[in-house]
Amino acid sequence: MKSSFATSLGLLGLATAVALPTPNADPIVRILPPNWAFNITSLRGPGCPDFAEPSTGFKTRLTYGQNTMDGSEIYYWHVAYPHLRASLAGEDHSWCETELSYSEYADAEQTKKGENYRLRLHKNGTKVLATYDLDEAVKAKWQVTYDTERGEDITDELTIAGPHTSGQYAQSDNSPVSKNPELYKLPKCGAGKIKFRTDLHIVGEKGKKGVAESEKTKSADGKEQYYGAQVGWSYDWEKCVTSDV
C-alpha cells in the first residue's frame, strides 16, 4: 500500500508524521509505524543560539518531512537554522550541535506509545537546502557528523564549488551515498535520541565573494529575516522482534 506524510511545521520544535494510505493498492510492503514524532531537546553553537529564546522572526526549528513512494523507503526530516550562515567577508565558519528525541506511536492519534519498530539513520545520507553566491575558486563545505554513541561517528560531506550563484531560492543537494550506506540503528525500539553536528565552512581568498546562507526576506522595518538553511537527515525503520524491546 502506498502512503504519504501528513506533516506539521513544528514551530515550537516539535514535528509529527502519520502514514496515510492512498486508494491505489500495490504489492509494496511498507515498514513504518502508524505515527512518529521528533522534538528538539538541545541546541549548542553559534549557528543556533536561539534555543528556548523568544523570537519575532524565524528561529531554529523542525520544518517538514518527506519520503519516497517507490518502495525504496527513504525518509527525511529537516531542521532549519536561521543563524547558520558563513561568508568570506565575515565569519567563514559556523556550526550547530543538535539533539533530538524520537518517539514512535501505536496509533495515528498519538494516544499510545509504540515499540514495534527500530529507527535507522543514514539510509540516504544528508540533504542540505541553502543559497550560495560563490566566486571562482571559492567553496562552501558542509559536514554533518552523526554521534552513534559507539565511538565511530558517521560524517557526511557536501561541497558546492564556485563560480556558482543559486539565486533567491534555496537549492537542494544531497551528500554522496555509497551503494551500501552505513546505518546507525537506535539502541532501542520505539524511542531514542539523535545527535548530530553541522559545520559550514567558506573556503577561498579574502576579497572574493563567498556566501552560503538561507533564503531571506525583509521585514516591514527593513531588517533581513533568514528562513534558515535546512539540514535533512535520512532514515527508515526495521521491524522489531520481542527480544529487541
Which residues are CB-neighbours of 86 under 8 A, at least 6 positions away?
A: 92, 93, 94, 140, 200, 201, 202, 211, 212, 213
Measured distance CA(32)–CA(5) in Å, rounded: 11
pLDDT at residue 55, as a whole number: 62
Structure confidence by residue, pLDDT tens digits, 209-231: 999 999 999 888 888 899 999 99
Measured distance CA(74)–CA(67) in Å, rounded: 6
Strands (E) across the chain are located at: 3-7, 14-21, 35-44, 61-67, 75-81, 86-87, 93-105, 117-134, 139-146, 154-161, 164-165, 171-174, 184-185, 191-203, 210-213, 216-218, 224-226, 229-239
What are φ and ψ of residue 243, in 5° steps? Answer: -70, -15
pLDDT at residue 223, as a whole number: 86
Side chain identity at 198, as an amino acid letter? T
pLDDT at residue 182, as a whole number: 85
CB 175 within 8 A of CB 157: yes
Q: Poorest-confidence range of 5-19, 109-123, 156-170?
A: 5-19
Closest alpha carbon to 198 in 181, 216, 212: 212
pLDDT at residue 7, as a whole number: 38
Measured distance CA(212)–CA(140) in Å, rounded: 7
7 burial (CB, 10 Å; 0-12 / 13-18 / 19+) is middle
Per-residue confidence at 4, pLDDT binned at 50, 70, 90? very low
Structure confidence by residue, pLDDT tens digits, 34-73: 999 999 999 999 999 988 666 667 899 999 999 887 778 8
Per-residue confidence at 3, pLDDT binned at 50, 70, 90? very low
pLDDT at residue 87, as a whole number: 98
219 burial (CB, 10 Å; 0-12 / 13-18 / 19+) is exposed
CA 48 to centroid of chain Cα atoms: 14
Helix (H, G, I), strand (E, B) or coil at 22: coil
